[in-house]
Amino acid sequence: MDLLYNIVIDPFVQMAQAPDLLAQTLWEGLVAGMLYALIALGFVLIFKASGVFNFAQGIMVVFAALTLVGLHDAGVPAFLALGLAILVMFVLAFTVERVVLRPLVNQPDIILFMATFGITYFLIGLGELVFGGDPKVMVTADLYLPKGAITYHALGGIVQLQKLDIAAAIIASLMVAGLAVFFSKTRIGRALRAVADSHSAALSVGISLEQIWVIVWFAAGLVALVTGIFWGARSDVSFALEVIALKALPVLILGGFTSIPGAIVGGLIIGIGEKLAEFYWGPLVGGGTDAWFAYVIALVFLLFRPQGLFGERIIERI
């Protein structure tokens, strides 16, 4: 009976008694969720355009951030380093298309998936070789990212919002809005959507698949860079980020593999759910639940709605 009380009632009593803590937890969850959503966004971009499940997205985040920090540490001015990092992401996209995607066109999904593993290994090795394996501190001040926190005395307590997180939220929303406009209004965006619909139909109306793939991998690289900057600013830039990047997978399940709004909503749900579960229910099982909570949510969700919140209905024919 005590156990049942602890699981079903006590957490809600705690929430009601300390609304400031609840608000703080929700905000933390929201910020974490936003970062998951950004990684998931990179996945969705590539999956939509090339049907490749890009496992390397997580390592691209680390690699982009590492390039920026590494160049800055070597004495390059911050904004020049940012520009160079963008250039590196473009070179990466170009190389991946040339060396990996083009020879593997028309192979089964799992082969392409494994090829992105190869990219992951290569980038881990390259990143550590060039920039060293030890954690680095992200450049924030030189990029004019705000520091410190805004403190509200509300809800019978104190709620602290980091200015950096607010900046991250604003820039992320701007980026998503920009991508949405790019996809719906521009010529290249329309070509991207055509490719997502059907490769062969897109080819037959004269859209170059190779170009589209470079563009889409570059876009995913840019998203990775932005994610890497904000994630790196919250913790250190290190290869430990890679495991956290796997959290984007349950986000994809929740949102559906092909939906950009799905990636965002899914990310926020996972982020908030994970923080709430860890804060209120975690102590009951000894903590550390955030290692698996997201995956279990995704698992349960899959049983009821396999195509995700916004995904297209899966139809199978013989």
Partner 1 sequence: MFYREAGQFKTSYASDQAIFPIVQDRIGIAVILFVAFVVIPATGNDFLINAMMIPFMIFSLAAIGLNLLTGYTGLLSLGTGAFMGVGAYACYKLTTIFPGVNIIVWVVASGFFAAAVGVVFGLPSLRIKGFYLAIATLAAQFFLEWCFIRIAWLYNYNISGAIEVPQRELFGIIVTGPRATAETRYYIVLAIVVAMTWFASNLVHGRIGRMWMAVRDMDIAAELMGIRLLPTKLLAFAVSSFYCGVAGALMVFLWYGGAEASVFNINQSFTILFMIIIGGLGSLLGSFLGAALIFILPILLRFVPEWMGLHMHAATVEHVTFMTVGVLIIFFLIVEPAGLARLWQIGKQKLRVWPFPY
* Binding positions for partner 1, rule: CB under 8 A: 53, 99-100, 103-104, 107-111, 113-115, 117-126, 128-129, 133, 243, 246, 249-250, 252-253, 257, 285-289, 291-292, 295-296, 298-299, 302-303, 306, 316, 318
Query: Are the C-beta atoms of residues 117 and 54 closer than 8 Å to each other?
Result: no
The DSSP secondary-structure symbol of 312 reads: P
Q: Minimum distance from CB of 135 to partner 1 (Å)?
A: 15
| CB-nearer residue toward partner 1: 128 or 197 | 128
Using CA atoms, how far apart are residues 103 and 101, in angstroms rounded to an integer? 6
| CB-nearer residue toward partner 1: 141 or 318 | 318
Q: Minimum distance from CB of 238 to partner 1 (Å)?
A: 15
| CB-nearer residue toward partner 1: 8 or 318 | 318
| CB-nearer residue toward partner 1: 180 or 243 | 243
| CB-nearer residue toward partner 1: 178 or 287 | 287
3 state SS of 283? helix
Q: Minimum distance from CB of 170 to partner 1 (Å)?
A: 30
Using CA atoms, how far apart are residues 2 and 98, in angstroms rounded to an integer? 62
Q: What is the CA radius of gyration of the chain?
A: 21
Tell me the one-letter amino acid at 257: F
Q: Minimum distance from CB of 311 to partner 1 (Å)?
A: 10
Alpha helices in the chain (DSSP H): 2-4, 10-17, 19-50, 57-73, 78-95, 109-131, 163-185, 187-197, 199-204, 209-234, 241-245, 248-255, 260-276, 293-304
As given in the structure block, the two tokens for residue 122 are 């290569």
Strand partners, 152: 159
List the one residue out of 309, 226, 298 whose CA is nearest residue 262.
Answer: 309
Q: Minimum distance from CB of 278 to partner 1 (Å)?
A: 12
| CB-nearer residue toward partner 1: 24 or 57 | 57
Q: Minimum distance from CB of 72 to partner 1 (Å)?
A: 21
